[in-house]
Each structure stands twice: as structure tokens, then as C-alpha cells.
Amino acid sequence: MTRSPEVFGKTVDEHTRCVHFATELDIIAIRFACCDRYYPCHLCHSETADHPSEQWPRDRWDQKVILCGACWSEMSIETYKATDSCPECAAPFNPRCAAHSDLYFARR
């Protein structure tokens, strides 16, 4: 399987886990609105990017910016927020990621 796209930051394995979040369920990466690059988490972005992060505005939640680290399929924010697992491969996602949602996605 060809991996695409590239994930930046302090990844620790081929499933996009990073030094900050590395449980069995931590398998997504987010393409940041500010730089159009995938990172495993906000901490990876803060530590390696040369600019502050920006939230995805609500009117752009239909864009495919979430990457499943199990099958490497991309999904929209709307799809990601409506499910607990990848729609393509059924790999479960970490439900605790919702606690950080406001760091990535604007409410309005």
C-alpha cells in the first residue's frame, strides 16, 4: 500500500501515532487549515510548525482533512465528527479526541 499524504510532526509509527498520543485508538491525523499539512495532533503542530494553528471554519467542514492512520483514507470533518470509526476500514477512533475538538474545528 502506498502511503499518501505525508504526515508531519513527531510520529512514532506508520499509523500516525505521535509522542503525545500513542494509544491503540490514536490513529488519525488532521490537515491543519493554516498550512495544509497533516499532523497527528495540535502539540506536534505547535512544536514543529513555524506559525500558530488555525481552526477549520464551520463552512469548510465538508473538506476531506482527516486521515485514518489504519487505511490512509481521507474523510471530511463532518464525517469524522459523526462516527466513532473509519467509514472505510472500521478501525475505531479514540473517543477522547472530542475533548480537543475546539483546537481544530470552529463551532460556528
Q: Is 80 contained in some domain?
A: yes
Q: Is 8 contained in some domain?
A: no
Q: Is 58 contained in some domain?
A: yes
Q: In what order do the strands lie in the sheet with 74-76?
A: 38-39, 28-31, 64-68, 74-76
Q: In terms of residue numbers, what domain contains 97?
A: 28-104
Per-residue pLDDT of the chain (108 residues; tens, 9 = 90+): 456 789 999 998 999 999 999 999 999 999 999 999 999 999 999 999 999 999 999 999 999 999 999 999 999 999 999 999 999 999 999 998 888 899 999 987
Query: Is the CB of residue 34 less than 8 Å from the CB of residue 52?
Result: yes
Q: Is 55 contained in some domain?
A: yes
Residue 39 identity (one-letter amino acid): Y
User: Cell digits for 8?
Assistant: 508531519
Instruction: Compute the radius of gyration of the chain from its Cα atoms.
Output: 13
| pTM of structure | 0.92
Q: Is 76 contained in some domain?
A: yes
Q: Is 18 contained in some domain?
A: no
Q: Is 32 contained in some domain?
A: yes
For the chain, give the secondary structure using H, E and C: CCCCCCECCCECCCCCCECCCCCCCCCEEEECCCCCCEECCHHHHHHHCCCCCCCECHHHCCCEEEEECCCCCEEEHHHHHCCCECCCCCCECCHHHHHHHHHHECCC
Count of structural domains, the chain: 1
Say what the pLDDT of residue 2 is.
52
Q: Is 70 contained in some domain?
A: yes
